[in-house]
Structure 1
């Protein structure tokens, strides 16, 4: 198994970092507060926090913490929008059992091949848990005009309750979540294609270059043009 595929219990978690693999954090003593990119999340006992690969996160947690690093293979061929963004998930039923099974299996046989199947199954259960209709809709239709009224109706909630519910699920408002989805897709298009900035703006759901540029800058701190021209990214020749 690769070096990052492991499960450990730490006495604390401090500082800011990122890693190329997805990670699950489970506080074992008290509520954990963690900041991922620009959003702060509160993870209570009997909850876990999913960190997508490459996501900067920072916390100052002092207490026993279960850290589960997932193999990148579990992400293959999965297009669940909820797990491309940090997510707090309630620990119950099969999710709890799977985490306990993985711990037990790794204690008995750290090189066990069956652990990979458990990882994949755990990830699929997290996907199911996070697959609320409105969140899935954002991930699949981010290029269309989307209103909070539409999203609330999908969950049969009034708008006020839906906004509170959505923030509890994702750590941010529906509009900010949608902006992240659109900007992340735009970043890929800027680096991997030769489409113009205006064409990319339309492809990810913005009707004007100026609106797209403001949204992109609010997430990345850069304009789309500057992002594309940055020498740290590999582009088409």
Structure 2
């Protein structure tokens, strides 16, 4: 598997943009606000933010920022669903040590092969952060009815503890994370297939068109029909 990595430190990041590659952002001095999709996140210097490929995001940040870009072929296909939504992850333990090592190596030699190996390991830790059984379950069974009680039971936690644990793992509540996974899959189906909106709603776990439309609008700022008809998202379907 190729490991094409671009790692840089910037003095600022401004304006709305997207990248063809997934990206990890680490603010180095003060809190950074990121608008990704239809949600806004505050990322402290003790956290990192993962932005999926081709997701429109906006940063208005003045200060040192570590940006790590990777080619999509670095990601295993089985992890695609897990990495289809933004994540804010607290840096502690090995993740914090890896980011510190990457910064130290960058100061010595920006083209160091060690930096790329460190980043590959950081990426593996990011996947490991999402590898908990209940999070994997969401990625594999998002089309089924899923409750927080059910997810907490998978981890053998009570619901109150599970909600806090899940937020620390992903940056989201379980219900919002599930919604993001479903809507990202729906966007793929709307763009690449001729299934009706109602058929797609059922395929991603919604029992009614109205519930699906509300969920879709809350994430994308438009209805499924508007998304499908938008020229910027259209593809040729054979």
Aligned partners of 2:52 and 2:84 also within 8 Å: yes
CA–CA separation in structure 2 for the residues paired with 1:34 and 1:85:
13
Please name the residue that 1:191 is paired with: 191
Please name the residue that 2:66 is paired with: 66
Deviation at 1:71, TM superposition (A): 2.4
Deviation at 1:236, TM superposition (A): 0.9
Aligned partners of 2:89 and 2:170 also within 8 Å: no
Aligned partners of 2:38 and 2:220 also within 8 Å: no
Please name the residue that 1:173 is paired with: 173
CA–CA separation in structure 2 for the residues paired with 1:202 and 1:120:
37
Please name the residue that 2:236 is paired with: 235
Extract unaligned runs of 5+ from structure 2. Answer: none
DSSP-derived class of the 1:125 partner: helix
Alignment of 1:70-219 (within 5 A): 70-79=70-79, 81-103=81-103, 110=110, 116-219=116-219
Aligned partners of 1:21 and 1:54 also within 8 Å: yes
Cα deviations across residues 185-234 of structure 1 (Å, max 9, x unaligned)? 11111222222322222211112223222322332233333333333331
Extract unaligned runs of 5+ from structure 1. Answer: none
Distance 1:158 1:206, change over 3 A: same
Higher mean C-alpha displacement, 4-13 vs 202-211? 4-13
Higher mean C-alpha displacement, 189-198 vs 98-107? 98-107
Aligned partners of 1:71 and 1:119 also within 8 Å: no
Aligned partners of 1:12 and 1:61 also within 8 Å: yes
Higher mean C-alpha displacement, 91-100 vs 39-48? 91-100
Please name the residue that 2:25 is paired with: 25
Cα deviations across residues 122-168 of structure 1 (Å, max 9, x unaligned)? 21121002323222211111000001111222233333343344334
TM-score by length of structure 1 reads 0.82
Distance 1:105 1:160, change over 3 A: closer
CA–CA separation in structure 2 for the residues paired with 1:59 and 1:231:
25
CA–CA separation in structure 1 for the residues paired with 2:30 and 2:232:
40
- How many equivalent pairs are there? 234
Distance 1:203 1:131, change over 3 A: same
Please name the residue that 2:40 is paired with: 40
DSSP-derived class of the 1:83 partner: coil
Deviation at 1:32, TM superposition (A): 2.9
Deviation at 1:97, TM superposition (A): 4.3
Distance 1:54 1:179, change over 3 A: same
Cα deviations across residues 83-135 of structure 1 (Å, max 9, x unaligned)? 32222223344434443554555556555666554433321121002323222
Please name the residue that 1:16 is paired with: 16
DSSP-derived class of the 1:59 partner: strand
CA–CA separation in structure 2 for the residues paired with 1:200 and 1:107:
49
Please name the residue that 2:221 is paired with: 221
TM-score by length of structure 2 reads 0.82
